[in-house]
Structure 1
Amino acid sequence: MLTRRTLLRTAGIGIVAAAAGIPLAGCAADDAVLRVGTKIDVPNFGFQNPQTGTVEGLEVDIARELARRIKGSPDAAALVGVNVTTRGAMIDNGTLDAVLATFSVTDERKRSYAFSRPYYIDHLGILVKQGKGLEAFEDLDGKTIGVALSATSKRTLEDAAREAGIGLHFAEYSTYPEIKIALVADRIDAFSVDRSILGGYVDDATELMDVAFAPQRYAVASSLDDPKLAAAIDAAVAAMQSDGVLAALQEKWGLASEMADETAAEAEAQAASAARVGAAAPLASEAPVVQAPGGGGDA
């Protein structure tokens, strides 16, 4: 069993080369470099291209843009591959300055990390194999759902199942490809994580159920011990929202949607609120986040 102590000892292992022009990330702090953790298994967010070996996606591009605005150059982004079990630990042990890894904001996580305002809003979804007769949420009664280890998807679905009067079983995995393989091999009946993530795993044999749960607000996570960096990151994300760069990057990766519109609307509402009180908008880590019961999906 992986313990938090084990994670803190091993979190520096598995560093990967990222987008073209970005050097292999190191572990030592460097004022000229922004060390950022991204996923490598989430198409359109952070995915290692099997043909080029580079990591690409919305969160990779945002990391480079943050480095440009904070450190003066997009090439100052040193990217490190993370997953749901290592991303927080690598902030804890000082290996990373920040994480952009489909990390959703919850009240519990805000006690451990500083979060920027959201850069994307998603909802928890469910992927199933075609031809299995699984169309409505109630059809999953007694079925086994594959979820990411340490993600909040399980808790959200448990709450939804209680409300629907059905029972679910769960199997936890370390990576999304593992869950997809288990689904294809019929070891599980469904794969649940945020809908935009699931979109990258849809193929001719699978389909997304027409359900959505609990808004997932993706934000940049950093250490509570470095409020100056957290403020700089939040300001950079706010600027990216204001000048259209964020919307352009979402569109580039096919992620511009009503969820993206909700992100922009939330930013505008936050700015309007700040103007009314005559103060700067608070960091997302200080502002209340409204969650559905269970509080989240991935990350």
Structure 2
Amino acid sequence: MRRLALAAVLLLGACSAGPPPSEVVPRGAADPQPAGASTVTAPPSSRPDPAPSCDATASLRPGPLPPAAQMPAGSTMERILQRGRLIAGVDQNSYLMGFRNSFTGEIEGFDVDVARQIAKAVFGDEKKVQFKVVTSAERIPMLKSGAVDVVVRTMTITCDRLEEVDFSQVYYQAGQRVLVRRNSGIGGVDGLADKRVCAAAGSTSLGAVASRAKTAVSVPNWTDCLVMLQQGQVDAISTDDTLLAGLAAQDPYTEVVGSRFTDESYGVGIPKGQQDLVRFVNGVLERMRADGTWRGIYDRWLSRLGPAPTPPAGRYRD
């Protein structure tokens, strides 16, 4: 009996003993990083010299919208009508703005509903739209190649980008903030000087935060940033408050902190030189503001940010 008791004690000890403290792997140290993650050593720029200053948010004045399915002969909209569908570049990884519903398989969100309103104005049917998923870095190349008719993907209008593509008027006014774990002690952008911060490649957010943090990490999609934050590979995520709200909604142990430190004016991206489509999309956005559609889309997707603000007023350079 003594031998059996001794064996039981030894077995219990073997089962209950954990690894020595020296063998405990630090949080995040052994976790693989998302594909495409890289460290940014300097604020990224798409060109060697800064673009000349411009009135970036002044677009082309819209005329009266033609009746649906009756687009002007020879126009870009007639070509889209004849094809039978609008091709829109959107996100599928940004909850609330552009994401894939795991139950239905459909892409949904604020930006997606804006794209559907453009399709509705062309065809009279908001379902006549083909969505192409694009990353932040792919938005301009997809427009320049003609692979999409429009990009509706939290795309900030800048003078630099206006040299490569055209934009609609502003359809949403966002601002950059910071997302952290609730126990981080970080209160905003001023607390990032000795921290590791994640942002998406090709975004204005990456350039705005790279010089404010000890280390900036670039990834293809915002959900990659959330994974790195959860794994302890970065201390914070910094981007527009719209995108951070979607990330925070997916992880209750995170919070958005600090005030806005940039202004991000979202516009619909349109291939360079298609002024008729720019004016048409601006007409759609004007109508959305006037008939309450814009507010309805906001209430559906972004009400967690607070009561619906007044939609951005159209500004035109002609």
TM-score class, shorter-chain normalisation, is 0.7 to 0.9
Q: Kindly report the root-mean-square deviation, in angstroms, between the aligned alpha carbons of the 2 structures.
A: 2.4
TM-score normalised to the size of structure 1? 0.74
- Partner residue in 1 for 2:257: 209
| Counterpart selection for 2:114 from 62, 73, 78 | 62
Q: Is the 8 A contact 1:44 1:57 kept in 2?
A: yes
CA distance in 1, matches of 2:176, 2:100: 23
Q: Residues 220-231 of structure 1 correspond to what in structure 2 (within 5 A)?
A: 220-231=268-279
- Partner residue in 1 for 2:93: 41
User: What is the CA deviation profile of residues 116-167 of structure 1, one whole-angstrom value per residue up to 9, with x for unaligned ones?
Assistant: 11111111011011212212433322111101001111322356x3xxxxx5
Q: Is the 8 A contact 2:177 2:188 kept in 1?
A: no
CA distance in 1, matches of 2:116, 2:128: 7
Task: Name the % identity.
Answer: 23
CA distance in 2, matches of 1:259, 1:120: 14
CA distance in 1, matches of 2:255, 2:306: 21
- Partner residue in 1 for 2:152: 100
- Partner residue in 2 for 1:195: 241
**How many residue pairs were aligned?**
240
Structure 2: stretches of 5+ with no match in the other structure: 1-35, 39-45, 47-78
The letter for the 2-side match of 1:190 is A
CA distance in 1, matches of 2:274, 2:230: 43
- Partner residue in 2 for 1:164: none
CA distance 1:257–1:204, shift in 2 (3 Å) = closer
Structure 1: stretches of 5+ with no match in the other structure: 5-27, 162-166, 271-280, 284-299
Cα distance, 1:263 vs structure 2? 3.2
- Partner residue in 1 for 2:164: 112
Instruction: Work out whether 1:173 is the aligned partner of 2:219.
Output: yes
Cα distance, 1:35 vs structure 2? 0.7
Q: Is the 8 A contact 1:196 1:255 kept in 2?
A: no
- Partner residue in 1 for 2:124: 72
Q: Which moved more, 1:252-261 or 1:169-178?
A: 252-261
Cα distance, 1:259 vs structure 2? 9.1
CA distance in 1, matches of 2:162, 2:215: 28
Cα distance, 1:62 vs structure 2? 1.3
The letter for the 1-side match of 2:238 is S
CA distance 1:149–1:136, shift in 2 (3 Å) = closer
The letter for the 1-side match of 2:236 is A
- Radius of gyration: which is bigger? 2
Instruction: Work out whether 1:254 is the aligned partner of 2:298.
Output: no
- Partner residue in 1 for 2:195: 143
CA distance in 2, matches of 1:259, 1:112: 35
Q: Is the 8 A contact 1:104 1:219 kept in 2?
A: yes
Q: Is the 8 A contact 2:219 2:225 kept in 1?
A: yes
